[in-house]
Structure 1
Amino acid sequence: MALQITQQNGTFLVDGQLNSATTTSFMNHFKYIIEQQQNVVLNIDGVTEIDYDGLAGIKTLTAIALRNHKMFSVIGNGCKDIYQDFNCSQVA
């Protein structure tokens, strides 16, 4: 399934699989959005699968936003692997 990104009330809804096949276009799309907006909210309720590349892409976008003094938030109850990885990386 291809990755679909829509915007609703200022929140970007991501549906589908965020994996090695879709991460490059996902990253390019959100790099541009981060440049254009002060606050980016990403809702992952519709993410059905995420692999290492997809997770690394979200981490990279977070770092880009931080460097540019922008807000980048990930919300929703999508793929639980995202939360497990972020919780483990914040323990140290």
Structure 2
Amino acid sequence: MPLEISKKDNKFYLKGKINSETVPYFISFFDKIRSKQIIININNIKEIDKLGLLTIYNFLDKSHINNMLFSVEGYGCKEIYDYFQEMKIA
């Protein structure tokens, strides 16, 4: 299933998978956005592989450096943030 991205009320709703096949699209889509705030909703994401997690982590990290907000919301976001905390500790 490809990755679909739609926007509503200043949030981006993702549907499908964030994996090695869809990461290039994810990166090119969000690299073009010049907003100081990007919120992605992952309620309709069926799979995120390791490369997908690393890509989200890189966007979060880059947003802190550039004084931006890149936020993940929806089912599974707590597990993602917990995983990122483990990465920082290791």
TM-score norm. by structure 2 comes to 0.87
Please name the residue that 2:73 is paired with. Answer: 75
SS for the counterpart of 2:32 is helix
- The one-character-per-residue Cα deviations of 1:59-83 (angstroms, maximum 9, x if unpaired) are 1111221121101110000477524
Unaligned runs of 5+ in 1: none
Cα distance in 2 for partners of 1:48, 1:83 equals: 17
Distance 1:62 1:79, change over 3 A: closer
**How many residues are aligned here?**
90
Unaligned runs of 5+ in 2: none
* Identical counterparts, % of pairs: 34
TM-score norm. by structure 1 comes to 0.85
Residue 19 of structure 2 corresponds to residue 8 of structure 1: no
Cα distance in 1 for partners of 2:27, 2:12 equals: 13
Cα RMSD after superposing both structures = 1.9
Cα distance in 2 for partners of 1:80, 1:16 equals: 19
Cα distance in 2 for partners of 1:45, 1:19 equals: 16
